[in-house]
Every structure is written in structure tokens, then in C-alpha cells.
Amino acid sequence: MSRPAWDWKLSDLVNVQQHGHTVFSCFACGGGSTMGYKRAGYRMLGNVEIDAQMMRIYRRNHNPPHPFLIPIQEFKGMPNSELPAELFDLDILDGSPPCSVFSTAGAREDKWGGEYAFREGQAVQQLDDLFFDFLDVADKLRPRVIMAENVKGMLIGKARGFVSLVLSRMRRMGYRPQLFLLNSATMGVPQKRERVFFIASRQDMSFPELRLEFNEPPILYRDVRSGIGSPITSGSKTLQRWYKKRPPDLNMGDVTGREEGKISNFNTILIKDQKVANTLASSSVFLRDDVPQHISDTDIIRMQTFPSDYDFMDADVQYVCGMSVPPVMMQRIAEQIYLQWFKAK
């Protein structure tokens, strides 16, 4: 009996049939997208990453031929003669520009146009400009396909104007963009993670319209649950609230709203055995619903479809996973791009 897609190891990649099409990744973080492409038979040429810790982890697990530990603004400004020639014959340029300013949590519009450090130790950047820095790289390298992933919040409210600007820029660059809202729970991932994907093909490639329809059966939390999670801190408000929860409660915001007359701690999620797990965010807290424990690191790795032999080195497992695209999610998309576009060409 074959193993489920979420149960795998990096060492399994040696058995994947290669078709030779190439990918280069920006904002690569832990390499969730990279692993998805590799599972789909692509050759990863390298990455651009600003975070030194993430780059160490990326190099340890993926051994990229051409890694660039620099801000994307510096990368796009490098002379073409200083870049590997194969980057100018690229099949897919992949990127997940940091998306916190488009999150539906908080007063997101107030953040637009401001400069922030994405996390402690990183350079301060204007985060909503990074998408256009990524498109500048695409215009420089001229890949056959541009793939950009971002949060569902881009399709809500005023952010839709930003989406229109992105699509217009892609068209001016000579690409035909398509926009997809996909849920990882329908793609063999044990997690409800909705993400927007901008997929654009270069006009001279004459590719047909890409069709992405996924209907895999849901994978419940009980299917991936493993080990004993760390206990909720004794005497803490979180533990007190956990004992006051009721069966319909989905997060601690439900508890505080009912018990304390205020909604807070909605990012403390109650994970239930009989349901698909919520989106694995790097900053959320995930508690088991039936015992006063956090979910285990193994749960996190499986929910995100990371390989069981991934070396997280000195980084927090939830941070690396939460900041990455689930490999199986990207694999499903990358397979269809190959089948519908590259193989059929």
C-alpha cells in the first residue's frame, strides 16, 4: 500500500522522474515551493532570500546551485553578466512575496505604504512594494512562466485594486496572467489553507488557458496526529479558558466572547480530530481540543506536508512551516503546468 502524499522524506526525491524543466525561487524561506517543484520533476536552479537563518536551512536541505543571500532589490540590480546564464532560459520564476500587509487580521490598510522589518533581524522594507520588485526580476529574466503565491486577503476590499495593478503590470511585460484561489484541503494537504496564485505565461509561448481543478478527499487531523504535545502552561489564562470551552468553539476568541464579553485570542486555535486542521500560520497557537496540549511538531510537519527528515537546524518548526507553501500544494500546481503547458508544447 502506497504512503499518503504527506508522509515522505527528502531522500524520496531521488526516485522522482525528472523532465528537466527549471525553476528559480524568490522569497524562498524554508523551500516549501522548492520541494513541491522537485516532487513534480523540476530542476531547482537556486533562490533569493534575505533571511540568513532561512538561507542556512534552505542550503542544508536543498543544496541549490545558485543561492543569493541578498535583498531582492539588490538581486534585480545585478548586471546580467554576473548572473548564471541558465537563469535567462528559465521555465518558471517562482515567488511568495511577504504578505502580512494583505492579511485579513487587523487594520491592514493602515500598514500599506509603510516600512517594516518582516521579522527581527531583517532589513526594513516596504512590504507591499516587494511584489513589484519580484515582477522587476521577472522582467529581467523573462521566464516562460511566472508563478506568485499570496494570501486570500488580496481578493478582499481595497486590496483588489492592488491585484489589478499586478495583473496590468504582467500584461505590459508581455505575459498572460491568470488568477486562482485554491484551497490546500482539496489538494492532498491536511490543512485548510486558501491561497491566491498568479500564474502568467509569456505571450510568445502560445499556451492554452490553464485549468486547475482539485477534488482530493479531505485529510482530517486525526489522520496525521502524532505524539504528545507540550502541555498548556499550568495556571495560565489559556488553560483556564481551555477548560471553559464548549464543543462548537473553534478558537479562544469564541470562549472569551462568551465567558468574558470580549473577543480576544482568536489566533489561539482549537484543533479537532474530526475536522481538517486550520491554516498553519507562523504566529498562531494551536491547541488540541480533547487534551490540554499544544499540537506536536510532528503534527505541524505533517499538516504542512514537509518531509519527516527535513533539518530545521536552529529554527522554530512552526515558523518555517507557517511561512512556506505546503510542498504537496505546489506539487499539484506544478504537475498541471508541466502536463498542460510544457509537455503539450
Report if pTM > 0.85.
yes
Alpha-carbon span 135 to 43, nearest angstrom:
22
Alpha-carbon span 50 to 29, nearest angstrom:
9
- Residue by residue, pLDDT tens for the chain (345 residues) are 589 999 999 999 999 999 999 999 999 999 999 999 999 999 999 999 999 999 999 999 999 999 999 999 999 999 999 999 999 999 999 999 986 555 444 444 444 444 444 444 444 445 558 999 999 999 999 999 999 999 888 888 777 888 999 999 999 999 999 999 999 999 999 999 999 999 999 999 999 999 999 999 999 999 999 999 999 999 999 999 999 999 999 999 999 999 999 888 999 999 999 999 999 998 899 999 999 999 999 999 999 999 999 999 999 999 999 999 999 999 999 999 999 999 977
**Longest Cα–Cα distance in the chain:** 64
99 catalytic residue (yes or no): yes
Using alpha carbons, select from 78, 198, 203 the residue that is nearest to residue 141: 78
Grid cell at residue 304: 504542512
Alpha-carbon span 255 to 232, nearest angstrom:
16
Grid cell at residue 14: 531521488
Grid cell at residue 4: 499518503
Alpha-carbon span 305 to 21, nearest angstrom:
23
Active-site residue, from 26, 29, 99, 321: 99
CB 299 within 8 A of CB 229: yes
Domains detected in the chain = 10-217+325-342 (3.40.50.150), 221-319 (no CATH)
Using alpha carbons, select from 45, 47, 8 the residue that is nearest to residue 23: 45
Grid cell at residue 319: 515558523
CA atoms within 13 A on the CB side of 306: 27
